[in-house]
Amino acid sequence: MSHHADLTPSVIQGLGWIYLILAVMNGAWAANAGKQKADLRIVSAWAVFSALLGMLAFAQIAGGDQAQNFSIRMPEVVKAGIDRLANPIVYFAGSTVLFVVIIAARKWLVNNTVAWVILNLMVLFLALSMTDYDFRQIVGKPDNVPIVAMLFIVAFFTWLYFKRAVDNDDRRAKGLPLFEQVENEKVLTWPDLVYTELICMVVLTAILIAWGVALPAPLEEPASAVKTPNPSKAPWYFLGLQEMLVYYDPWMAGVVLPSVILVGLMALPYIDFNKLGNGYYTFNERKFAVITFLFGFLPLWIGLIILGTFLRGPNWNFFGIYEPWDVHKLEVLNNVNLSQYFWIDGLQRPMPVAPSGSDGLTQALYILLREAPGLILVFGYLFLLPPLMAMTVFRRFFIKMGFLRYMVFANLVLLMACLPLKMLLRWTINLKYLVAIPEWFFNI
């Protein structure tokens, strides 16, 4: 189904360079394994893998212009399978499962070889995917290149965190001093720190110049107030917020929830009463804080940015990574408000409507009556749940924190949870709004 001018020589050759870099990296890995006197079979396996990649790279770079026979592509079966599976539910559920696996299997994942295999798989997946026209269209957008890089960078630093945290937790269990406490003499800032900074600045300048020369900044057609692009997307770092618009109205997704994120971040040092884990990496000593923060940062913030950037196409419909962005793709939306579930489906009676000609107050009361189920739920969620949690799951927290601190904490946790909860309600019972008062622009 290649209905596009598919693989151009420059793409094939570009991929050749990626394979070459991967070959060199694996060659170095094999050499290092050899130097460490690893099992000879393992060393040679890496060496053979590196050599294979090298040959692939050579074939693609040298023979790129006579094209397609050489290039190794992502199999159509895999592409079709991934696209068929792809939808927001699988994506978010998948990223949540991945998150849980990362935490549960952290001791295994911090193993260097495991991480190296995963890195290889990620690069190979990316390289193979680049043979697909539609994938290239999205990933290759100049503004999206940093996001792809960010994916690798965030993955790396998360791995590095767990590596150091697992090590420190191990040391604690054995009664050894922390990694940060060993060989921790004072050294002179000049040269030890100043030189690092200098090298860092030089390297960074080189990277920026190379990046600037290699990749032109995007410039589309001149602005036109009448030609609305489809999809219209906010700058990439706000795409997580734009994705929230699927589940909440702009006043929540665009104003209240971002404000809550910022207030929550600023409040963080004042609600985290745990004195441990100050100035060193650890997981075991501050599990709750780390899991909460990582959940907010990885699946919710980074995850939704990836979703908004790569997987949302025209009309903000969801598209698989290899799927052409079809403007006419239809998604059936039959979402229902809670009030309708309650009055019509539950009580089998019409929704309460104020008699025509009644005054403003009566109308308002009828609206409140109509939306009473949702209002009660939201009220209970925000005002009854915190004391309930204080007596049960967060009992220890409440005692340590005191009333005010605890209330702030509980509300922040609940507001953070309200996004995944709404997602869940949408996917399970097609819930549109818990409270739907379009008359007042007040929908939750």
Partner 1 sequence: MSVGDYIRDSQIWKSIFRHPAPTDRRNRVVVMLTNFFLHLHPVSVKQQGIALSYTWCMGGITFFLFLVETVTGVLLMFYYRPTLEWAYNDILALRDVTTLGVMREIHRWGAHAMVISVWLHMYRVFLTGSYKPPREFNWVIGVLLLVLTLLLSFTGYLLPWDQLAIWAITVGSNMARATPFLGHEGPGAQLLNVGGFDLITNASDARFILLGSRFVGESTLNRFYIMHCVAIPLVVAGLIMIHFWRVRKDGGISQPL
Note whether 5 binds partner 1 by CB under 8 A: no
Minimum CB–partner distance for residue 208 and partner 1 (Å): 5
Other C-beta atoms lying within 10 Å of the C-beta of residue 368: 13
Minimum CB–partner distance for residue 157 and partner 1 (Å): 6
Closest CB to partner 1 among 132 and 285? Answer: 285
Note whether 197 binds partner 1 by CB under 8 A: yes
Tokens of 193: 């720190």
Minimum CB–partner distance for residue 215 and partner 1 (Å): 7
Q: Provide the terminal-to-terminal Cα distance of the chain, rounded to the nearest Å.
A: 43
Minimum CB–partner distance for residue 405 and partner 1 (Å): 13
Size of the site for partner 1 (CB under 8 A): 93
Note whether 441 binds partner 1 by CB under 8 A: yes
Phi, psi of 436 (to 5 degrees): -120, 95
Of 15-23, 31-39, 172-180, 424-432: span binding partner 1 (CB under 8 A): 172-180
CA gap 293, 291 in Å, rounded: 6
3-state secondary structure of 185: coil
Of these, 27, 34, 94, 146, which contacts partner 1 (CB under 8 A)? 146
Identify whether the C-beta of residue 180 lies closer than 8 Å to the C-beta of residue 279.
Answer: yes
Note whether 360 binds partner 1 by CB under 8 A: no
Closest CB to partner 1 among 55 and 255? Answer: 255
Note whether 70 binds partner 1 by CB under 8 A: no
Note whether 220 binds partner 1 by CB under 8 A: yes
Q: How many residues does the chain have?
A: 444
Note whether 176 binds partner 1 by CB under 8 A: no
Match 């406490």 to its residue by tokens. Answer: 181
Minimum CB–partner distance for residue 328 and partner 1 (Å): 21
Closest CB to partner 1 among 57 and 412? Answer: 412
Task: Give the closest residue to 125 by CA, choosing from 85, 74, 159.
Answer: 74
| Window 268 to 327, contacts with partner 1 (CB under 8 A) | 268-270, 272, 274-282, 286, 290, 293, 297
Distances (CA, A) of 239 to 39, 233, 311, 408: 47, 7, 11, 27
Match 């559920």 to its residue by tokens. Answer: 93
3-state secondary structure of 434: coil
Provide CB contacts within 8 A for 22, sequence distance 6+: 53, 57, 120, 123, 124, 127
Of 37-45, 95-103, 185-193, 399-407: span binding partner 1 (CB under 8 A): 185-193
Minimum CB–partner distance for residue 8 and partner 1 (Å): 22
Note whether 361 binds partner 1 by CB under 8 A: no
Of these, 184, 335, 358, 362, which contacts partner 1 (CB under 8 A)? 184
Closest CB to partner 1 among 2 and 259? Answer: 259
Site string for partner 1, 221-250 (x = CB under 8 A): xxxxx-xxx--xxxxxxx--xx------xx
Note whether 260 binds partner 1 by CB under 8 A: no
Minimum CB–partner distance for residue 277 and partner 1 (Å): 4
Note whether 189 binds partner 1 by CB under 8 A: yes
Phi, psi of 98 (to 5 degrees): -55, -45
Closest CB to partner 1 among 36 and 278? Answer: 278
Task: Give the closest residue to 416 by CA, choosing from 305, 317, 291.
Answer: 291
Identify whether the C-beta of residue 338 lies closer than 8 Å to the C-beta of residue 351.
Answer: no
Distances (CA, A) of 394 to 288, 389, 391, 413: 11, 5, 7, 11
